[in-house]
Structure formats: structure tokens, C-alpha cells
Amino acid sequence: MFLVGLTGGIATGKSTVSAMIRDMGIPVVDADLIARQIVEPGKRVSKKIRAEFGDEVFLDSGELDRVKLGKVIFSDATKRKIINKITHPEIYSEIRRQVIFNFLKGEQFVVLDLPLLYESNKVAPYLYKTIVVTCDDEMQLERLMARNQFTEKEAISRIEAQMPLDKKCSMADIIIENSGSIEATRKQVEGIIKLLRSSNHHIYNRAVYGGGFLAIVSVIVYFLLVYVMGIV
């Protein structure tokens, strides 16, 4: 099995591409989904956030008020680092669990949907390929303002909090241009998945690790490799 990283900028359409990949039968480990799950009421991360940021970032139902928290952390780099320190260990722990699960299932490859793939740089060096979803700057701004009801200033602050798209694209193996129609994006995704499915990289890994008893050993080795990667 091999790993493929998927990332992009906020409101560039990464989630749309991720859904297309999943619809094609490819397992996707979604860091955003995991991030929402770990802050559910009563969970350890939720309690840590409450202790650090107070009741004001929570709804009466006990659920995290992501809008309020977002306004706090995107206007203060120090607080953004604090929330990352609280959430990232739990997120990467679950990523590790899902990667190992798909490894045991015998999947050819798994796509890791990671918004901060390059920013955190914990996983990028160990990926077979990386994919960046991009779009025109003006379109990105318009999409974000429409999607989240942000003012232009709020939207720009969210975009600028991330690594510039052109820099991400320069680091990517594959770029998906998502400024056009949904059909044009889907055609790109289909071509990429076809290319990945034709790869023999998973056969190489299987040859290295072997079968039978060695397969059990490979699980242990893989677990250690993932741990060393920094997916903890």
C-alpha cells in the first residue's frame, strides 16, 4: 500500500475533489472530519479547549461553536498554535489508526485529505504523491465569502493564515485546477485516479514485506514507520 496526500487552500474545492475520489471507491482519510469528531461534547479534546478558551466558544448544547473559535484563532497566531497543539495529536492518532486499518484490508493506496499537509510537514516527506487543489485567487475569495458569509476582510485573513496557494502548487506532484466546471474537475480527478491505479508501488511494498508470517511482521514495521513519521 502507498499513501497519497490531498490538500489545497481554503475554499478551493478540496472537499469536492475528496468526495469524487471517495465515490470512485478509493479510501479517504479526512482530517477535517476527524477534527470535528474529536471535539464532540464530553471528549477529551473538547474539555481541553474549554479549559483553555472558556465557555464562550461553546454552544448551550455543549457543542463547540466553531464560528466563535475560528474568529479567536484566526485573529491571533499564538492562540492558533495553542488550538493546534491541543487537536493535532488526537487527529494524527486517528489518521494512524485509519491508515493501518486500510493497510490490513489490503488496499492499493489511501488518500490522506490534509488541509495543513505542507504547513505541518509531518506526513509530506513520506507520501508517494501529493495533490494540490487550486483555483483563481478571486474565485477563492468569492467562494469563501459566499460559503461562510464572511466579510472580505475576514475571508482574506483566513486565506492569509494558510500557506500561499502558489507555494503549495510548487511543492505538489499533481495539481487539480478547480476554477472551471464541476465536469472539468471530475475529468481531472478520474485521470489522476487512473494513473495511481496503474502504479506498481504497492507491489514493491508487498514484495518487501512478504506474506504469511512476514505479513504480521510488516504490520508491526508499518506501525513503527507511521509512528516515526510523526503521525502520533
Question: Which amino acid belongs to residue 119?
Answer: E
105 close to 30: Cβ distance less than 8 angstroms: no
Question: Which amino acid belongs to residue 127?
Answer: L
pLDDT tens, per residue, the chain with 232 residues = 899 999 999 999 999 999 999 999 999 999 999 999 999 999 999 999 999 999 999 999 999 999 999 989 988 989 999 999 999 999 999 999 999 999 999 999 999 999 999 988 888 888 999 999 999 999 999 999 999 999 999 999 889 989 999 999 999 999 999 999 999 999 999 999 999 999 987 665 555 545 444 444 444 445 545 554 554 3
SS3 at position 60: coil
The CATH superfamily label for domain 2-229 reads P-loop containing nucleotide triphosphate hydrolases (3.40.50.300)
State the Cα–Cα distance between residues 103 and 97, nearest whole angstrom: 10
Sheet order of strands, 109-113 included = 28-30, 109-113, 2-8, 129-134, 174-177
Q: Which residues of 129-150 are buried (b: 16+ CB within 10 A; e: fewer)?
A: bbbbbbbeeebbbebbbeeeeb
SS3 at position 2: strand
Predicted model pTM: 0.85
